[in-house]
A and B are shown apart, each in its own frame.
Chain A
Amino acid sequence: MTTSAAFSGAISNPTGYQNPIRKLILGLVLLAMTFCASLAFGQTSVPGDTLFAALFHFDATNTQHLIVTGSRFPRAITATLVGAALAVAGALMQALTRNPLASPAILGVNAGAVFAIVCVSTLLVTSSMTLLLWVGLAGAAAAAVLVYSLGSAGGGGPTPVRLVLAGAAITALFVSFTQALLVTNQEGLDSVLFWLAGSVSGRPLDMVLPTLPLILPALMISVLLGRQINLLMSGDDIAKGLGQNVVRLKALLGLLVVCLAGSAVALAGSVGFVGLIVPHMVRGWFGRDHRWVIPGSALVGAILLLAADTLARFIIMPQEIPVGVMTALIGTPFFIVLCRRGLSRG
């Protein structure tokens, strides 16, 4: 009680959202629960005691143990990482552009990474995760720069509609390039298509590991930047007046977005709408203080993607829906409500 009181004293949250620490702990508990559910449920359900046995007393002759550690555990890890990375990327983008509709998928960053990766993997026939990771980052960076400069061309700065349209145009551009590559190289089409649709299955741990040194530090830095982001949100001039180096901060945020979104795409293909909806949900829950919004986004993003991935195994048994399709179907109604509400006010 004393620690949490000290914390809320230090925060002196003006919006009246008390005890964000408690909410974060609740989020962690939920995350652990969805993580376990993701391990337990699927075509063959694994009961709780077997699950624990598989994790702590692994028996290589037990099929259920093999399913849990061999396929579901890496999958749950992938979903957690990708969900957290995309959600934080979305939160940073929405803060950076002061645009409620910004997210890696809408603003074309995902499409850029997808194109770069499809390009390299079909032309060079490589599956080296480290290479694909860097290629994905380069594609994401190129798309981000293109969209931002396109959206802010002309006077008046980047308004939400301009940025979103620029993102859609750049997405269309990269998607048609990707289509062109796939139509001319038909051999790998089927496997690439499932990856394109956004999927967290079939990523063994040694594919996931190379992304860790990138995703985890980027997440940590994003969390630590919360206070600076709060200042930035009050306007460039105010932030400058309060001693903030706005240009450097914006560049750093852009770099973080590219790292997070690019490595998420390299891991899971294009998973849309997580980056869009999660920050909104989190702001409704934690308030507008970015010191809490960013860790909250990481948690809720991971929970959302784990849940969507677990659900995707049941809808059309025995086949699985790609998780990117799931998030798009969940996210679109949300996006539409957001457009209708936001624009009628503004």
Chain B
Amino acid sequence: MDKRSRLSVGPVSVAISPQSLMVTGLIFIACSALVLLALSIGSVDIPPATVIRSLLGTENGPEAFVIEVLRLPRIVMGFLVGAALGVSGLILQSVVRNPLASPDIIGISGGASVAAVAFLSFLAPSVGSHWLPVMAIAGAMIAAAIIYLLAWQQGVTPARLVLIGIGLSAAMGAATTLMITLSPITTTMTAYIWLTGSIYGSDWDDVSAFLPWMAALLPLALASGRTIDLQEFGDTLATGLGLAVQRNRLLLLFLSVALAGSAVAYAGAIGFVGLIAPHIARKLVTRHFTALAPVAAMIGGALVVAADLIGRTLFDPLDLPAGVFVSAVGAPFFIYLLFRQRY
């Protein structure tokens, strides 16, 4: 009946339905096509054949420079950021057991925003902006820790976590607005673009700083797939099945925060990716974390790359922040999904 093959790599072990595998393959192909498209169009259009040749290293011309130095790092960055946010949202929605949760809604991005805007308004002129990601990650972590501690009452329940996160993100939003209104207009714009989320001007240095995070966190997320699936049954059942619920919840939250925090640190507070990507993934493949995670990652990556592509081509010569179009593309779709879905 159910033709499933088992895949085991170390702690990762999952029953994969051939259908999910096929869908994942198709999405991979679609993502590759999107990346190719994003590499070839821009203020200078380059034919796809040239793009492929320069990726393979057989092309040395001005076009190779445009692709390898200007476009590729930006696209890789966008894809990685989107993937991190997608997986982060997926973990969070499972932990909280509510499909409306996401890192930006429960205050993780809010913490990063407060730290980043404080840095941009008060410290950046004297210290230099390369410390921005460090500050943003620290902000996200501190915010998450505060939310967790405030939600603690003989353990943390998902509902309390969400409510306290929403409450605190309102306060952090107020603090961010306060700093923005008080700072001079030049930093106001920088801060505002950061808040919207942009991968403008990402270079290989940024990518290589961000890559270790992803290399460490994504396998860890995949390895905890079974825990995540168990967690979804509810506290009582999961405890009965032998899961240390509170400890695992903390671990999973940490994973989610680290993924979202590092992504936000390099790309600004891009919203909605963490909310939408998991929804789309759930529509496409079976509801097992190990099957969902790669799809959510690819969808998230594709969303950011597509939004950035629109931002830099549609209003040429203006280069608008990717975050603007993530919500423009994602929001109507999100509302449609929510109204169709019964949860």
Q: Decide whether A and B are members of one complex.
A: yes
Judged by a CB distance under 8 angstroms, whether A344 is at the interface is yes
> Does the CB pair A329–B174 fall under 8 Å?
yes
Q: Which of chain A's residues have a CB closer than 8 A to the CB of B339?
A: 149-150, 153
A172 is contacted by which of B153, B160, B162, B271 (Cβ under 8 Å)?
B271
Shortest CB-to-CB span from B180 to chain A, Å, is 6
A-facing residues in B149-199 (Cβ within 8 Å): 150-151, 153, 157, 159-160, 162-164, 166-171, 173-175, 177-178, 180-182, 185, 188-189, 192-193, 195-196
B100 at the A/B interface (Cβ < 8 Å)? yes
Query: Bound state CA distance, A329 and B211, in angstroms?
Result: 37
CB distance from A345 to the nearest CB of B (A): 11
Question: Nearest Cβ in chain B — how far from A39, in angstroms?
Answer: 24
Q: Does A21 contact B (CB under 8 A)?
A: no
Main secondary structure of the interface of B (DSSP, over half): helix
> Which listed residue (A166, A179, A322) contacts B195, Cβ 8 A?
A179
**Contact residue among A165, A180, A316 (Cβ-Cβ distance under 8 Å from B327):** A180
Q: CB-defined interface of B302-343 with A at 8 Å, one 1/0 digit per residue?
A: 000000000000010000110111111001001100110111
Indicate if A146 sits at the interface (CB-CB under 8 A).
Answer: yes
State whether the Cβ of B105 lies closer than 8 Å to any Cβ in chain A: yes
Residue in B160, B169, B195 whose CB lies within 8 Å of A340: B160
Q: How far is the CB of B216 from chain A (nearest CB, A)?
A: 28
| B169 neighbours in A (Cβ, 8 Å) | 168
Is the CB of A148 closer than 8 A to any CB of chain B?
no
The secondary structure that dominates the A interface is helix
| A324 cross-chain contacts in B, Cβ below 8 A | 174, 177
Interface size on A, residues (CB 8 A): 52
- Contact check, A335 vs B342: say whether CB atoms are below 8 A apart: no
Which residues of chain B come closer than 8 Å to A168, judged between CB atoms? Answer: 100, 105-106, 166, 169
| Complex: chain A residue closest to B99, CB-CB | A165
Q: Is B148 an interface residue (CB 8 A)?
A: no
Q: Are B170 and A179 closer than 8 Å at their CB atoms? A: no
Cβ-based interface call for B272 (8 A):
yes
Give Cα A324–Cα B162 distance, bound, in whole angstroms: 23
B335 lies within 8 A of A179 (CB): no
Whether, in the assembled complex, A158 has its beta carbon less than 8 Å from a beta carbon of chain B, the answer is: no
List A contacts of B166 (CB < 8 A): 106, 164-165, 168
A153, A175, A322: the one contacting B343 at CB < 8 Å is A153
Docked pose: A183 CA to B185 CA in angstroms: 13
**B208 contacts the other chain (Cβ, under 8 Å)?**
no
* Nearest CB of A to B269, in Å: 9
A101 within 8 A of B: yes
Complex-state Cα separation, A28 to B174, whole angstroms? 30
Q: Which of B97-121 contact A (CB under 8 A)?
A: 98, 100-101, 104-106
**A145-187 CB contact bits vs B (8 Å, 1 = yes)?**
0100110011100001110111011001101110110111010
Residue interface mask A311-339, B partner, CB < 8 A = 1: 00000100101101100110110011001
Chain B residues closer than 8 Å to A67, beta-carbon distance: none
Decide if B275 is an interface residue (CB 8 Å cutoff).
yes
Contact A273 B162 (CB under 8 A): no
Q: A194 near B: Cβ within 8 Å? A: yes
Q: Which residues of A contact B151 (CB under 8 A)?
A: 340
Partner of B178 from the list A150, A154, A322, A335 (CB cut-off 8 Å) is A322
Complex Cα distance, B341 from A164, in Å, reads 18
Contacts of B159 in A (CB 8 A): 161, 343
Q: CB of A90 within 8 A of chain B?
A: no
**A165 partner, pick from B100, B188, B328, beta carbons under 8 A:** B100
Q: Across the interface, do A183 and B180 meet the contact criterion of CB distance under 8 Å? A: no
